[in-house]
Structure 1
Amino acid sequence: MKQQRWFRAGWPPLVVVILLLLIWQLVVTWGGTASWLLPSPLKIWQDGTTDMPRVWMHTFATFRLMLIGFFVGVTVGVIVASCLHRVPVLKAGFYPLLILSQNVPTIALGPLLIILFGFGLLPKVILISLVCFFPVTMSTLDGFMQTDRSMYNYMQMIGASKRQIFYKLELPHALPALFTGLKISATYSVMGAVIAEWLGGGVGLGYYMILQKSAFRADREFVAIFIIVVLSLLFFWLIAGLEKWVIRWNAKRSS
Structure 2
Amino acid sequence: MRSRDPRLSAVESYSDALRDLVNDRVSWKGEPARKLRLNTDEDWSFVCVAMDILGDASLALHNFLEFGIDGPTKYDDTGEKYLRLYGLLSAAYIQQQAALKLHNLMNGAKQKDFKRRADQLAIRILRHQLASHSLDCRDFSTNSVSAFVPVRIDLGGFNCTVTENRGDGSASYNLREGVKGHCEFMLDLLDATYEKSYRTLFKNNRAKLDEHSGKLEELRHAKAGHLVFKSPHPGGPNIVIVPMKVPREDT
TM-score normalized by the length of structure 1: 0.29
The structure having more radius of gyration, on CA atoms, is 1
- Which structure carries more relative contact order (alpha carbon 8 Å, separation 6+)? 1
TM-score normalized by the length of structure 2: 0.30
Structure 1 or 2: more strand by fraction: 2
